[in-house]
Chain A
Amino acid sequence: MAEQLDEMYRDIIMEHYRFPRGHDKILNPDITKEGRNPACGDEIEIRVKMDKDKIETVSVDCAGCAISTASGSMLAEICEGKTIAEVKKIAGIVKALLKGEKFDKSYDIGDIEALQGVNKFPVRVKCALLSWTTLVDAIDAKQTGRQLTASTTEG
């Protein structure tokens, strides 16, 4: 179990957790969205600054656990400069990876691969997904002009 624990809290995850990227709130965001994990009550706020159809920067404000903090940090890191289509593709990969499903291994997801160890701890998958679900909801809502309500990790 100690090994399984280390498998989840890999060095890369701990490094993102201790020094999270995108931690400073963007001051003039184009999109702001809150997300909530109903299982534990954790809340995050994602802010996105767009540059046409590309994401310029993302900030993830969260007081969550190591897993959700690290996952949010990786999100901020990888999404910078990506198009919306790319971000959605990555979010899909993260979901598949966390749920132990098949995904496109040819796509370079960098540090995110380290999240794989989380899938042995089903209750923690929600922690890792929170920022991704929130970001995708935020982008969708922006595109369709839908009302922004808080995202949850349900479903």
Chain B
Amino acid sequence: MKVIDQNKSHLKSENSLLSVDNIRKDFPILDRMINGHKLVYLDNAATTQKPQTVIDAITSYYAGFNANVHRGLHTLAEEATSAMEKTRDKTAAFIGGVKREEIVFTRNATESINLVVSSWGKKNIKQGDRIVITQMEHHANLVPWIMLAKETGAELEYIPIDQNGYLNLSNINNIITPKTKIVALTHMSNVLGTINPVAEIISLAHKNNALVLIDGAQSVPHMPVDVKTLDADFYVFSAHKMLGPTGVGVLYAREEILNEMEPVIFGGEMINEVRFDFADWAELPMKFEAGTPNIADLVAFAPALDYLNKIGMDKIRQHEIEITTYGLEELRKLDFIKIFGPDNVLDRGGVISFVDDKIHSHDLSQYLDSKGVAVRAGHHCAQPLVKLLGVTSTSRASFYIYNTNDEVDQLVEALKAARRYFVNG
């Protein structure tokens, strides 16, 4: 709690760590009016807004060097290939300096997980093997494993969560056993905000010769991540949740593992030699990237990474600790609001899920929208988890680098007004 107290002095003022005012100028959408109010965008866990540099990069690509990649020998083709591959280098550097061959581009985190399941999973998971996931997974890291277990006859075991929204590890040695072939879990929950002790779980899994897939969709955008130090075998995330364009996902996997995996999509770009009766796969990572990729968005992901690097992931994490501390403090003052997830802000990311004890989350988010405040309502693609919380849906406010304590105040004011509208009206 020490950190929180230290920060208290400037909770009300503009955050001291980031120059949020300047950051906001880089995001044209933040000037938008929504229903007569200035947009308060608090749905960053779903997708973040984009800085001008990212928006411009898409135009520059189409206006200046549009061409197919890895094929032509002309100038445009070389420029396009080089820009796209630069993004790969930057991505590799961003998650702790892995090899560029270890970065496979997909459409999104969901596709990255599906690639692992379809290729590595179908080859390595057999009847009687165990797949371990957790009760707090997004459907993206849940449904593919359910399907794989069904298809192979493997058992699917869940690490449970406790009352406070943490993983309950008390029985972990009976869950991750020598039968376990893969453990797949989220680094940070998109509903509870919980940051999981992934290093500890990876180490335990490795002792049992199991591999580990980490769903980093909510962690990579919000805190420093070094997949080598974590010793993750697979690590996935989406560009659109970290200032980048939609349509770009990342699969990191250790080179030895990728070498052993077969492609699941076949065609151009991914072959070395093709005869009429034979094909030989291209080198990594191309063998997993059949067909023309999403070049424009891949090119435009680079300035998103540059933007985050310029600020620094440590500072971004600090900013989110501050604003989440403030958000939790202010929301706790509302006795009709129940908040889910860990109490200690250091154990959670910038995500606050809550319910009003009288107003359904649909009505609430509709009302907040009429005040310009954008939050997410529903089950957040984690139906089993939300059910465990004893509700059918929650509202969720999630923060990023451009959010301010003022915006938290506007959320709180709108919540009070909703109360007057629906309950005491």
Asked if A41 meets B386 with Cβ closer than 8 Å, knowing A5-B366, A63-B392, the reply is yes
Q: Give the bracket for the number of chain B residues in contact with chain A.
A: 20 to 34
Residue of A nearest to B383 (CB): A41
Residue of A nearest to B386 (CB): A41
Within 8 A of A (CB), among B19-51: 35-36
Question: Which of the 9-residue segments A50-58, A64-72, A108-116, A135-143 touches chain B?
Answer: A64-72
Residue of A nearest to B369 (CB): A1
Residue pair A42, B35 in contact (C-beta under 8 Å):
no
Interface string of B360-378 (1 = CB under 8 A from A): 1111001101100000011
CB distance from A55 to the nearest CB of B (A): 27
Residue pair B366, A41 in contact (C-beta under 8 Å):
no
CB distance from B337 to the nearest CB of A (A): 17
Interface assignment of A31: CB less than 8 Å from any CB of chain B = no
From B362, B369, B370, B425, A65 is in contact (CB under 8 Å) with B362
Q: How far is the CA of A65 from the CA of B363 in the complex (A)?
A: 6
Residue of A nearest to B425 (CB): A14
Residue pair A121, B366 in contact (C-beta under 8 Å):
yes
Residue pair A40, B370 in contact (C-beta under 8 Å):
no
Asked if A41 meets B393 with Cβ closer than 8 Å, knowing A2-B370, A5-B367, A66-B422, the reply is yes
Interface residue SS majority, chain B: helix
Asked if A5 meets B377 with Cβ closer than 8 Å, knowing A42-B392, A42-B393, A124-B362, the reply is no
A63 — which chain B residues lie within 8 A by C-beta? 360, 392
Asked if A40 meets B378 with Cβ closer than 8 Å, knowing A1-B35, A5-B370, the reply is yes
Residue pair A40, B393 in contact (C-beta under 8 Å):
yes
Residue pair B425, A1 in contact (C-beta under 8 Å):
no
Residue of A nearest to B378 (CB): A40
Within 8 A of A (CB), among B361-420: 361-363, 366-367, 369-370, 377-379, 383, 386-387, 392-393
From B366, B386, B421, A124 is in contact (CB under 8 Å) with B366
Interface assignment of A39: CB less than 8 Å from any CB of chain B = yes
Query: What is the total number of residues of chain A having a CB less than 8 Å from a CB of chain B?
Result: 22
Q: How far is the CA of A14 from the CA of B358 in the complex (A)?
A: 13
Residue of B nearest to A14 (CB): B425
Interface assignment of A74: CB less than 8 Å from any CB of chain B = no
B383 — which chain A residues lie within 8 A by C-beta? 41
Residue pair B370, A66 in contact (C-beta under 8 Å):
no
Interface assignment of A127: CB less than 8 Å from any CB of chain B = yes
A positions within 8 Å CB-CB of B: 1-2, 4-5, 8-9, 14, 17, 39-43, 63-67, 69, 121, 124, 127
B positions within 8 Å CB-CB of A: 35-36, 359-363, 366-367, 369-370, 377-379, 383, 386-387, 392-393, 421-422, 425
Sort A-B residue pairs by CB-CB distance and give the 7 closest, nearest first.
Answer: A1-B35, A65-B360, A65-B362, A41-B379, A41-B392, A5-B370, A66-B363
Q: Can you identify 24 A-B contacts, CB atoms within 8 angstroms? A: A1-B369, A1-B370, A4-B370, A5-B366, A5-B370, A8-B366, A9-B422, A14-B422, A14-B425, A39-B378, A40-B361, A40-B377, A40-B378, A40-B379, A41-B378, A41-B379, A41-B383, A41-B386, A63-B360, A64-B362, A65-B362, A66-B360, A67-B363, A69-B360
